[in-house]
Structure 1
Amino acid sequence: MARTLFTACLCLLNLSCAVAAADARYRIRETNRAYEQGDWMTVGATRFVRYVSIGHTFVYFSTTGGITRLNRFSYKWDFPWTTSNGLPDNDVFLAAMDMNTGFLWAVTKEGISYLEPASQMWRSAFYNEMGMGDQYITSVGFGTDRQVYVVTSDNLWYVSDNVSAQFQEMTPPLSDEFINWHGAREQKSHSLPNFFMDGGFLFDSRQRYIDDLQFRHWQITTWIKDDWNNVWLGTWGLGAARGDLNTIRLELLDFGLWDEVVDDIEMDNDAYWLAGVQEHDEPTGVTEWHGLLAKPVYYEPRLITGFASEEITSIAADARAVWFGTRNGLVRFDKRKNMWRTYNISHGIRNSLINKVMLDDHFLWLATDSGIDRIDLATVGTDSMRITALKFPTHRLVRVFDIAQQDDLLWLATEFGLFKYDKLSGDGGYYSGLDENLVSRPIFAVSAWGEELWFGSDWGVYGFNAMTDEWLAPLAKEYRTDAGINRILASHQAIWVATDAGVLKFDKRMQRWRQFTELDGLADDRVYAIELDGDYIYFGTARGLTRFYWNNPFRND
């Protein structure tokens, strides 16, 4: 077995522990027993790998986005272990299996966790509750005496039985040859062959990094050799890889998202387009995600001619193109020609800060910080692309946050209230058919289903019948919250609301509201996007894409 740079990766943990004292209310102590494993799944940015180990069935990659699991026999990915499944944090510094028991142990900035193989339940022990203070675990070892040993950053030893995390401080033994170590105390081999790679990548075994065509160095952080002449590697930025020692070839095993903030989700046949405005200044990208069994495709705007902005707020796709609304214009990806182009105010768009893009059969609608623009799709790609600006009464410039289509009507969520626009006649005006104090407030999200219209303001969520101008039944009419509403998705069975404090669901049959948070399985309580796909619903969050099996017939939410 071989490792390198593990100690360098662990040094980041000391900083994390110092600045990230967890609020006890949000500590995830174990797997939520109200759900089956797999009901919740989060896929995040797993390109940054800290450690790799081999278990009975899987190769485990400890990443900043959870523990990714590749079946070592079929070479297929399974869903990752994250906070959605019971881990206390997604930034995992070390994960390793005790081959004697089948228990999987994981070290995070919060403490140490273990997965029981029979129940598939995660349980955690936290540093401050174990009396470790500001220390953090650098090594985990499994002894032939049925004990689990950990060594901390202060070189203190702790021991527990191998089926719990009841750690007690101990005196180090004279010899630790009976312990199979993972982490800093693991015996390391520093040799790697010069693997050959496709796609313009160059493998440098001496410097331990991979070069790409842009002359970027992607550091190799960890590796391990198995019994079948495979070398499993982790990198800092390119994810996991498998090297074949027989052919001396290395294959990148792309998985997960390029970046973690997901501001919008767009379903496009068998793919999902995912992107967002990130919380860092590093180069970011767009992910074309094809599920667990196919490789994702990544697009980096800084490397693509015609892709002028990487701050993506909204996505819309049809058979020919994918449209990206950004904070600096509109980007179009022609799928047939594999060409990108950016449109901004110089092309006739009223404002380059776009909050929402929406397609219908003939037009692309842009909700911007200055109003609504309509692009005639038949003129796209010509020298005279036709862009029309909608006029608002009483206000020349209106910030529009969201758009919903209801037959031939468009409903606009604006800073001055709810705006109703008839696409056939071209007439429009601020809606005042109900309580004017409610509908004339800033509206941030809107969604339609049948005759129902749902909208969200700084006061809460409201629903009414747009055909009869009547409020819905009392529990549906109003849900007061100051959580900060980002998106609403109305459907046949339920209304889903993405907020800064989790997800709200209104069950139409049961006539009740329900809130989902990180304690249920969300990657983060800050939820920005919603996409319904049959029995599953996807949430774009500040920490990745979360999938929820909402229509499980054996569970009543």
Structure 2
Amino acid sequence: MKPLILFLFLLSQISFAQVIHQISFDRFSHYDADDWITYAYSNHITSIDIGSENIYFGTSHGGILRYNFFDEEWLYPQTTSNGLHSNRIKRVVFDTATNQLFALTPKGVQVFNKAFEYWQNAGPELPARTINRPTENPGNTRFPALSRPILSSWPNFIVDDNYELMLDGLIYNPDNEEYRVGERIVDRWYKMWIATNGTGIGLADFDMVELKFIKQSTPAIHTKDVLVTADNIWVAGTPFKEKERGIARWNFEDDSWDYFKSGINFNIFSDDIRVIENIGSQIFFGTEQGLLQYNSKRDEWISLQKANPLKNDVIYDLDHLDGLLYIASENGAFKYDYKMLNMENVGKKFLHQTKVNKITNTSNNVYLATDRGIFEYNPQKDKTSLLDSHAAIADNFIDAIGANNDTLWFASQKGIGFYDITNGDWKSFPATNFRLNSKINDITFSDWYVWFATNKGLLKYDKERDYWYLYTKKDGLADNRVFNIDVDGDHLWLSTFKGVTLFRWYREGRFE
């Protein structure tokens, strides 16, 4: 009789309304043009052309950058999130006869529908470019608008920020890395915009005989995490190009990008970053080889490699509680008091050399997701215990965990569940695993929803409606492999394999 009672109890904990819905509507009439915006690696410029209001830069991985002449500001990029078939742009052409922008990608020619703000298929060929000659030196060094001056006709520009421009078109950046100039075009203010193959955009002023370089891009990384602060956005991940690897900081005030990488800054020992966390002015980076720290007040990188039990450990997650940094690593969990420079094991008796996949906290306790289940750590008592799960799914091999208002959500290889810490109730969604069939990488929360970063898209659970929806590339994601989610008011910053996607999750009157 007792086994039957136990079976009926577990059955009562299962939610059966587990259909995962996907896009069944016209994407471009349902979403506004800026509901989905993707920022990806864009420092390799493949093509440049000028329109009636903007200058357009085709890039190797980040779609089309746009700069508005009249407002003197960078607009959000045009990418697959806005209907392009690919972010690898071979050529951009602004057709002055029709006032339309065309793009050539490996998947064909598209034209931008300005009225409805989306990209649609065009004919097999690009229209011809408008080129205003001469391309050689006209004598007064003021080339006409839309001309594309040949390299030998350029004046001897004064180059800023420790760059060097050689006569043959080679560029050496401040780190002495070699690049080359590509396409160029003169605007109506007699400034020349120059493409490079990895160090951004050159802007030359013929009157002042000056040349500077501008970057509007993440590093060349598969983005793993984003940190949003009051003044900046930090972006980090796994490099896919050696020279353009590293960590990026996007500064809101002047819309500029700073880059930090190993080999150039000797306190940065790894460019392979999995997670970012901050405690006030201290920014922490969990890497494949240990913990990095940046003091934003002092503009100082701090090496934590010496006398550090985490040296060379893979760090999977970071969280903080009461001024202490909690660390999930391949060899257990740790807490770090950065003021006292003190690192201690958490739950050494239970978690010694145990891989900790994710970490989260409530106002009182820290929760650790492992392949052996969920562990609860009480900092006041310095006590660790294994949660006695009553979930209807297996509670081992926990990949992700998140806490919200004393409710603990977790995801394992067998599905999704949550635990109400206050009343001890458990609820499980085992069928989500069978319908989704994907690892869940992160869990976070907004006003009404629980969000799950998965390898097949962004999964949303509406608690009020008991309703699941999966956002994919068809909605506007840069890539279906989503690693981390950061909530920023009505927006989500989504770290994906092919860049950072900014998704406006709430817009009045829009429902998925």
Match of 1:141? 128
Q: Is residue 2:369 matched to residue 1:413?
A: yes
Given the alignment, which residue of 247, 253, 256 partners 2:214? Answer: 253
Q: Is residue 2:53 matched to residue 1:57?
A: yes
Aligned sequence identity (%): 26
102 and 459 in structure 1: CA distance in 2 versus 1, 3 angstrom threshold? farther
Match of 1:382? none
Match of 1:239? 200
Q: Distance in 2 between matches of 1:394 and 1:548?
A: 40
> Alignment partner of 1:224: what SS?
strand
**Greater RCO between the two (CA within 8 Å, min separation 6)?**
2
Q: Is residue 2:31 matched to residue 1:35?
A: yes
- Kindly state the Cα deviation for residue 61 of structure 1 after the two structures are TM-superposed: 0.3
- Kindly state the Cα deviation for residue 33 of structure 1 after the two structures are TM-superposed: 2.8
Given the alignment, which residue of 511, 520, 526 partners 2:466? Answer: 511
User: What does residue range 212-291 of structure 1 map to in structure 2 within 5 Å?
Assistant: 212-282=173-243, 284-290=245-251
After superposition, what is the alpha-carbon deviation per residue over 1:37-89, rounded to whole angstroms, capped at 9, x for unaligned? 11100011110000110001000000021100001223200011000000000
Match of 1:479? 432
Q: Distance in 2 between matches of 1:218 and 1:351?
A: 33
After superposition, what is the alpha-carbon deviation per residue over 1:329-363, rounded to whole angstroms, capped at 9, x for unaligned? 11111222222222247423376211112222321
Match of 2:137? none
Match of 1:501? 456
Q: Distance in 2 between matches of 1:436 and 1:413?
A: 17
Contact 1:332-1:342 at 8 Å conserved across structures: yes
Q: Is residue 2:158 matched to residue 1:203?
A: no
Between 43-52 and 254-263, report the one with greater CA deviation: 254-263
Q: How many residues align?
A: 468
Q: Distance in 2 between matches of 1:270 and 1:435?
A: 42
User: What does residue range 338-487 of structure 1 map to in structure 2 within 5 Å?
Assistant: 338-344=299-305, 346-349=307-310, 352-379=313-340, 385-393=341-349, 396-435=352-391, 438-439=394-395, 441-472=396-427, 479-480=432-433, 481-487=436-442
After superposition, what is the alpha-carbon deviation per residue over 1:353-411, rounded to whole angstroms, capped at 9, x for unaligned? 111122223211111101001112330xxxxx321112355553210011111111111
198 and 361 in structure 1: CA distance in 2 versus 1, 3 angstrom threshold? farther
Contact 2:332-2:351 at 8 Å conserved across structures: no
Contact 1:219-1:236 at 8 Å conserved across structures: yes
Between 399-408 and 340-349, report the one with greater CA deviation: 340-349
> Alignment partner of 1:84: what SS?
helix
- Kindly state the Cα deviation for residue 484 of structure 1 after the two structures are TM-superposed: 1.3
Letter of the 1:375 partner, please give it.
Y
- Kindly state the Cα deviation for residue 491 of structure 1 after the two structures are TM-superposed: 3.1
Match of 1:556? 511
Contact 2:89-2:105 at 8 Å conserved across structures: yes
TM-score, normalization by structure 1:
0.79
User: What does residue range 309-320 of structure 1 map to in structure 2 within 5 Å?
Assistant: 309-320=270-281
After superposition, what is the alpha-carbon deviation per residue over 1:229-254, rounded to whole angstroms, capped at 9, x for unaligned? 11011111111122111101122222
After superposition, what is the alpha-carbon deviation per residue over 1:475-516, rounded to whole angstroms, capped at 9, x for unaligned? 7x8732321111111233111111111100112232201000
Match of 1:48? 44
> Alignment partner of 1:296: what SS?
strand
After superposition, what is the alpha-carbon deviation per residue over 1:261-291, rounded to whole angstroms, capped at 9, x for unaligned? 1111112222111101224555511111235
Contact 1:433-1:469 at 8 Å conserved across structures: no
Q: Is residue 2:477 matched to residue 1:536?
A: no
Q: Is residue 2:121 matched to residue 1:124?
A: yes
496 and 512 in structure 1: CA distance in 2 versus 1, 3 angstrom threshold? same
Match of 1:73? 70
Contact 2:248-2:258 at 8 Å conserved across structures: yes
> Alignment partner of 2:432: what SS?
strand
Match of 2:15? none
> Alignment partner of 1:333: what SS?
strand
Q: Is residue 2:179 matched to residue 1:192?
A: no
Contact 1:31-1:85 at 8 Å conserved across structures: no
Match of 1:103? 100
Between 307-316 and 350-359, report the one with greater CA deviation: 350-359
After superposition, what is the alpha-carbon deviation per residue over 1:422-474, rounded to whole angstroms, capped at 9, x for unaligned? 111111112123137522x21111111102111111122222312222134x7
- Kindly state the Cα deviation for residue 543 of structure 1 after the two structures are TM-superposed: 0.8
Q: Is residue 2:287 matched to residue 1:326?
A: yes
Q: Distance in 2 between matches of 1:437 and 1:519?
A: 31
Q: Distance in 2 between matches of 1:395 and 1:200?
A: 50
Between 57-66 and 455-464, report the one with greater CA deviation: 455-464
Contact 1:87-1:124 at 8 Å conserved across structures: no
Q: Distance in 2 between matches of 1:104 and 1:292?
A: 30
Q: Distance in 1 between matches of 2:27 and 2:309?
A: 52
395 and 271 in structure 1: CA distance in 2 versus 1, 3 angstrom threshold? closer
Q: Distance in 2 between matches of 1:549 and 1:332?
A: 31
User: What does residue range 9-20 of structure 1 map to in structure 2 within 5 Å?
Assistant: none
Contact 1:44-1:545 at 8 Å conserved across structures: yes
478 and 360 in structure 1: CA distance in 2 versus 1, 3 angstrom threshold? farther
Compute the RMSD of aligned alpha carbons.
2.3
Letter of the 1:106 partner, please give it.
A
> Alignment partner of 2:222: what SS?
coil
Between 409-418 and 346-355, report the one with greater CA deviation: 346-355
> Alignment partner of 1:33: what SS?
helix
Contact 2:347-2:383 at 8 Å conserved across structures: no
Q: Distance in 2 between matches of 1:493 and 1:467?
A: 20
TM-score, normalization by structure 2:
0.86
Q: Distance in 1 between matches of 2:306 and 2:414?
A: 34
Contact 2:102-2:111 at 8 Å conserved across structures: yes
31 and 247 in structure 1: CA distance in 2 versus 1, 3 angstrom threshold? farther
Letter of the 2:96 partner, please give it.
M
Match of 1:20? none
Letter of the 1:73 partner, please give it.
F
Q: Distance in 2 between matches of 1:100 and 1:140?
A: 10
Contact 2:313-2:331 at 8 Å conserved across structures: no
31 and 89 in structure 1: CA distance in 2 versus 1, 3 angstrom threshold? farther
Q: Distance in 1 between matches of 2:425 and 2:232?
A: 39
- Kindly state the Cα deviation for residue 203 of structure 1 after the two structures are TM-superposed: 2.1
Q: Any unmatched runs of 5+ in structure 2?
A: 1-25, 131-145
